[in-house]
Amino acid sequence: MRRITGLIALIVLVGFLVWGVLPPIMHDFGYPDASDMDDYIIQNAQEETGSNNVVTSVVFDYRLLDTLGEATILFTAAMGVLLLLRTEKRRKEGS
């Protein structure tokens, strides 16, 4: 029973993936959809942020909120590891 369910799920998944790359849905290979945002950032990044490295100006200026989440993930991971694997002696109970 589980095998049949898994087979059906696999067929549905493969069908969905194949449907996703059919020509009416996916645009021609190699041609991006719209490049307005890219053009704007390439034209104005140096003037607006003063940074020569446009990738850094996107990561640390235009999309700083995204980087904030990234840093939060790192902070949480380090905090969890230090909490679980702490090396200081644990205090005995009741003292």
Partner 1 sequence: MLSKIVRTVTNEFMLFILVFGFYIIAHGHLTPGGGFQGGAVIVSGVVMLLVAFNSQELKKTLHERVLSIMESTGALIFIALAFAGIGTAFCYNFLVGSPIFGRIPATGPNPGDIWTGGVIPLMNFAVGLKVIAGLSAVVLAMALFSSGEEIEE
Q: Which residues bind partner 1 (CB under 8 A)?
A: 43, 46-53, 55-57, 59-61, 64-65, 67-68, 70-71, 74-75, 77-78, 81-82, 85-90
Q: How many residues does the chain have?
A: 95
Q: Which is nearer to partner 1, 11 or 64 (CB)?
A: 64
Q: Which is nearer to partner 1, 37 or 71 (CB)?
A: 71
Q: Which is nearer to partner 1, 33 or 88 (CB)?
A: 88
Q: Which of 55, 31, 32 is nearest to 42 (CA)?
A: 55
- In angstroms, the CA 2 to CA 90 distance is 46
Report whether 50 contacts 60 (CB < 8 A): no
